[in-house]
């Protein structure tokens, strides 16, 4: 049996996306293991979830490091120690520097609650409501130096309803996030992701059913 895909996660918040990945692994939909979860927030719900599932969770206090680069040097060291192959940003609310990017080129994923390139940065759902768009959604993309600007792997769309609040819209988007993030990891674990500059394609499955969690078209 081939080695399981080894994932390292960076988190700051509630950790519902991390939970979706943990669930997919536990249900054996995803052949992977999360070897370490690092949080920059001591009270992050994501760390609680990590502990609850008996995984390796670490609170790394940014205050103990001179700057973000030094902080990431330690992250890279911990990822190396835990033999991480792919890095998953799961609600990690810190800018990524070249320290991490150069250690994991084209091996860092992020999930963002909008149809990129619309509504980058913080409060994407609020931005969508203020702008008045009728459709928004979420995007999983590879991370590069720019803010929320790396190559898109998959996007899922949701309607914006007349009486939506930030909370109701967030809830609708979250449900899609929890489907597409594990799906992308599944494509990676089965070596189906083909990266060609900014164009990312999903190779056909070698197994008859494909055993997809969702459609492979790159849009949901
Ligand atoms: C998710 O909605 C994710 O898309 C967003 O933070 C939330 C984390 O939720 N990320 C960003 O806005 C990154 N720019 P979670 O901690 O429950 O997974």
Which tens digits make up the pLDDT trace of 112-153? 999 999 999 999 999 999 999 999 999 999 999 989 999 999
Active site residue 53: no
* CA dist 34 → 16, 95, 146, 159 (Å): 15, 22, 26, 33
Which residue owns the Cα nearest ligand 1 atom 16?
Answer: 15
Q: Using the atom order of ligand 1, give the atom closest to the CA of residue 45.
A: 16
Q: Using the atom order of ligand 1, give the atom closest to the CA of residue 46.
A: 16
For ligand 1, the distance from its centroid to the CA atom of residue 208, given in whole angstroms, is: 34
For ligand 1, the distance from its centroid to the CA atom of residue 150, given in whole angstroms, is: 16
Which residue owns the Cα nearest ligand 1 atom 9?
Answer: 91
Indicate the pLDDT class of residue 206, thresholds 50, 70 and 90.
confident
pLDDT of residue 219: 61
Indicate the pLDDT class of residue 217, thresholds 50, 70 and 90.
low
The full set of domains in the chain, from first to last, is 1-105 (3.40.50.170), 110-220 (3.40.50.170)
**pLDDT for residue 103 is more than 60:** yes
Q: Beta partners for 158?
A: 136
For ligand 1, the distance from its centroid to the CA atom of residue 112, given in whole angstroms, is: 6
Sign of the torsion angle spanned by Cα atoms 97, 103, 104, 106: positive
């Amino acid at each position: 049996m081939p080695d399981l895909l080894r994932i390292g996660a960076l988190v700051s918040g509630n950790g519902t996306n991390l939970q979706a990945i943990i669930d997919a692994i536990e249900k054996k939909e995803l052949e992977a293991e999360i070897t370490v979860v690092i949080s920059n927030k001591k009270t992050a719900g994501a760390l609680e979830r990590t502990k609850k599932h008996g995984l390796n969770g670490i609170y790394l206090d940014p205050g103990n490091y001179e700057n973000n680069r030094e902080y990431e040097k330690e992250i890279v060291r911990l990822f190396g120690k835990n033999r991480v192959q792919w890095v998953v940003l799961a609600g990690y609310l810190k800018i990524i520097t070249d320290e991490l990017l150069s250690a994991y080129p084209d091996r860092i994923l992020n999930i963002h609650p909008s149809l990129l390139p619309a509504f980058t940065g913080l409060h994407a759902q609020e931005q969508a409501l203020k702008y008045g768009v009728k459709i928004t959604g979420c995007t999983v993309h590879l991370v590069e130096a720019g803010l929320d600007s790396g190559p898109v792997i998959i996007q899922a769309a949701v309607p914006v309803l007349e009486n939506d609040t930030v909370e109701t819209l967030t809830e609708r988007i979250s449900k899609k996030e929890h489907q597409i993030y594990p799906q992308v990891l599944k494509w990676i674990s089965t070596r189906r992701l083909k990266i060609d500059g900014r164009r990312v394609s999903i190779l056909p499955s070698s197994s008859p059913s494909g055993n997809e969690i969702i459609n492979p078209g790159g849009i949901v």
